[in-house]
Structure 1
Amino acid sequence: MGRAVPQSGSELRRTMDISIGEGLFSQIYAGLAGHGSVFVTKLAYHLGAGPMQFSVLSAIGMVSQVFQPLGLAVTRSLTARKRAVIALAAAGRALTPLYGLLPLLLPRRDALDAFLLLFFAVTSVLAVGTNAWMGWIGDMVPTRFRGRFFARRNQVLMLVGLASGFVFSAAIDLFDPHPGLVASWMSGVLGLPPLSDRAGTAFLALFCVAGVIGLAGLTILAKQPERRKVVETAPWGSMMAKPLREPNFRRLAFWGVWWLMALGIGAPFWQPFMIGELGMSVLMIMLYGTISTIAGLLSLRAWGRFIDRYGNKNAMRLSIIMATMNPLFWVAASPSRLFLIYGEAFVSGITWAGAGIVMTNFVLSVAPKHEQQAWSGMFSALTGLAMMVTALGSGALMPGAMSLLGMDLHPMQVLFLVGSIARLTALIPLSGVREQSVPFTAVVRRIQQFAAVRVLNLTAVIHPRR
Structure 2
Amino acid sequence: MRLNDCLTPAATAIRRKAASSRELRSNLRASWGDGVAFGGMVGFGETYLAAFVLAAGLGELTAGLVGSVPLIAGGVMQMVSPLLIRRLHSHKRWVVLCALVQAAVFAPLGYAAWQGSISAPAVLILATLYWASGLATGPAWNTWIGTLVPPGVRPRFFALRTRASQAAVFLAFLAGGITLQLAGGGPHLMTAYAALFAIAGGCRLVSAWYLYRHTEPSPMPASMRNISWRELLGQLRSGNGGRLLLYLVAVQAAVQVSGPYFTPFMFRKLELNYGEYVALIGVAYLAKVIALPWWGSMAHKVGAQRLLWIGGAGIAPVAAAWMVSGNLAWLLTVQVLSGVAWAAYELAFFLLFFEAIAPEERTSMLTLYNLINTAAWVAGALGGGAILFLTDASHAGYLIVFAASSFFRALALLLLARLPAIEAEGEEIGLRTLSVRPNAASLDAPVLPSLPSQAE
TM band (smaller chain): 0.7 to 0.9
Q: Which residue pairs with 2:442 in the alignment?
A: none
What's the CA shift for 1:75? 2.9
1:352 counterpart letter in structure 2? W
Q: Which residue pairs with 2:66 in the alignment?
A: 57
Q: Which moved more, 1:145-154 or 1:92-101?
A: 145-154
2:78 counterpart letter in structure 1? Q
Out of 402, 412, 415, the residue aligned to residue 401 of structure 2 is 415
Q: Which residue pairs with 2:54 in the alignment?
A: 45
Q: Secondary structure at the match of 1:371?
A: helix
CA–CA separation in structure 2 for the residues paired with 1:206 and 1:254: 38
Residues 1:374 and 2:364 aligned together: yes
Q: Alpha carbons of 1:364 and 1:285: their partners in 2 closer, same or farther (altered >3 Å)?
A: same
Q: Which residue pairs with 1:393 in the alignment?
A: 383
Q: Alpha carbons of 1:315 and 1:66: their partners in 2 closer, same or farther (altered >3 Å)?
A: farther
Q: Which residue pairs with 1:453 in the alignment?
A: none
Q: Secondary structure at the match of 2:67?
A: helix
Q: Alpha carbons of 1:302 and 1:18: their partners in 2 closer, same or farther (altered >3 Å)?
A: farther
CA–CA separation in structure 2 for the residues paired with 1:223 and 1:116: 32
Out of 306, 310, 322, the residue aligned to residue 330 of structure 1 is 322
CA contact (8 A) 1:88 1:129 kept: yes
CA contact (8 A) 2:257 2:384 kept: yes
Superposed, which structure 2 residues align to 1:421-460 within 5 Å?
421-430=407-416, 431-432=418-419, 435-437=422-424
Q: Which moved more, 1:373-382 or 1:310-319?
A: 310-319
What's the CA shift for 1:216? 0.6
CA contact (8 A) 2:40 2:172 kept: yes
Q: Report Cα offsets for 1:89-129 as digits up to 9, x if no partner.
A: 111112212112135568x4x52321111111121111111
What's the CA shift for 1:240? 3.2
Q: Which moved more, 1:380-389 or 1:281-290?
A: 281-290
What's the CA shift for 1:57? 0.9
Q: TM-score normalized by structure 1?
A: 0.75
What's the CA shift for 1:49? 2.5
CA–CA separation in structure 2 for the residues paired with 1:302 and 1:175: 38
CA contact (8 A) 2:66 2:123 kept: no
Q: Which residue pairs with 2:119 in the alignment?
A: 111
Q: Which residue pairs with 1:230 in the alignment?
A: 221
What's the CA shift for 1:381? 0.5
CA–CA separation in structure 2 for the residues paired with 1:311 and 1:77: 43
Q: Secondary structure at the match of 2:253?
A: helix
CA–CA separation in structure 2 for the residues paired with 1:270 and 1:95: 25
CA–CA separation in structure 1 for the residues paired with 2:140 and 2:303: 24
Q: Report Cα offsets for 1:131-155 as digits up to 9, x if no partner.
A: 3223334556689987776554333
Out of 229, 250, 260, the residue aligned to residue 242 of structure 2 is 250
CA contact (8 A) 1:162 1:289 kept: no
CA–CA separation in structure 2 for the residues paired with 1:391 and 1:296: 23
Q: Alpha carbons of 1:254 and 1:44: their partners in 2 closer, same or farther (altered >3 Å)?
A: same
CA contact (8 A) 2:269 2:395 kept: no
Q: Alpha carbons of 1:78 and 1:316: their partners in 2 closer, same or farther (altered >3 Å)?
A: farther
CA contact (8 A) 2:304 2:425 kept: no
Q: TM-score normalized by structure 2?
A: 0.76
Q: Report Cα offsets for 1:359-387 as digits up to 9, x if no partner.
A: 65555433223221211111111121122
Q: Secondary structure at the match of 2:136?
A: helix
Residues 1:207 and 2:213 aligned together: no
Q: Which residue pairs with 2:297 in the alignment?
A: 305
CA–CA separation in structure 1 for the residues paired with 2:367 and 2:347: 17
1:19 counterpart letter in structure 2? S
CA contact (8 A) 2:352 2:422 kept: no
Question: Any stretches of 5+ residues in structure 2 without a counterpart?
Answer: 1-16, 427-456
Q: Alpha carbons of 1:123 and 1:163: their partners in 2 closer, same or farther (altered >3 Å)?
A: same
CA contact (8 A) 1:26 1:217 kept: yes
Q: Report Cα offsets for 1:67-103 as digits up to 9, x if no partner.
A: 2223333335676522221211111112212112135
Q: Secondary structure at the match of 1:398?
A: helix
CA–CA separation in structure 1 for the residues paired with 2:146 and 2:345: 18
Q: Alpha carbons of 1:433 and 1:209: their partners in 2 closer, same or farther (altered >3 Å)?
A: farther
CA contact (8 A) 1:81 1:133 kept: yes
Q: Secondary structure at the match of 2:424?
A: coil
Q: Alpha carbons of 1:11 and 1:302: their partners in 2 closer, same or farther (altered >3 Å)?
A: farther
CA contact (8 A) 2:351 2:424 kept: no
Q: Alpha carbons of 1:202 and 1:280: their partners in 2 closer, same or farther (altered >3 Å)?
A: same
Q: Alpha carbons of 1:102 and 1:284: their partners in 2 closer, same or farther (altered >3 Å)?
A: same
Residues 1:26 and 2:38 aligned together: yes
Q: Which residue pairs with 1:288 in the alignment?
A: 280
Q: Alpha carbons of 1:200 and 1:135: their partners in 2 closer, same or farther (altered >3 Å)?
A: same
CA contact (8 A) 2:322 2:402 kept: yes
CA–CA separation in structure 1 for the residues paired with 2:257 and 2:324: 17
Q: Which moved more, 1:418-427 or 1:224-233?
A: 224-233
Q: Which moved more, 1:211-220 or 1:392-401?
A: 392-401
Q: Report Cα offsets for 1:206-227 as digits up to 9, x if no partner.
A: 2111101111122223344656
Q: Alpha carbons of 1:72 and 1:433: their partners in 2 closer, same or farther (altered >3 Å)?
A: farther
What's the CA shift for 1:394? 0.8
Out of 82, 87, 90, the residue aligned to residue 97 of structure 2 is 87
Q: Which residue pairs with 1:102 in the alignment?
A: 112
Q: Report Cα offsets for 1:339-364 as digits up to 9, x if no partner.
A: 11100121122123334445655554
1:101 counterpart letter in structure 2? Y
Question: Any stretches of 5+ residues in structure 1 without a counterpart?
Answer: 178-195, 402-407, 440-466
Q: Secondary structure at the match of 2:318?
A: helix
What's the CA shift for 1:160? 2.5
CA–CA separation in structure 2 for the residues paired with 1:171 and 1:140: 38
Q: Alpha carbons of 1:221 and 1:278: their partners in 2 closer, same or farther (altered >3 Å)?
A: same
Q: Alpha carbons of 1:19 and 1:390: their partners in 2 closer, same or farther (altered >3 Å)?
A: same
Q: Number of aligned pairs?
A: 400
Q: Which moved more, 1:288-297 or 1:43-52?
A: 288-297
CA–CA separation in structure 1 for the residues paired with 2:190 and 2:139: 34
What's the CA shift for 1:30? 0.9
Give percent identity, aligned residues only: 20
Superposed, which structure 2 residues align to 1:145-224 within 5 Å?
151-177=159-185, 196-224=186-214
Q: Alpha carbons of 1:322 and 1:87: their partners in 2 closer, same or farther (altered >3 Å)?
A: same
CA–CA separation in structure 2 for the residues paired with 1:45 and 1:364: 39
Out of 265, 270, 273, the residue aligned to residue 257 of structure 2 is 265
Q: Which residue pairs with 1:182 in the alignment?
A: none
What's the CA shift for 1:10? 10
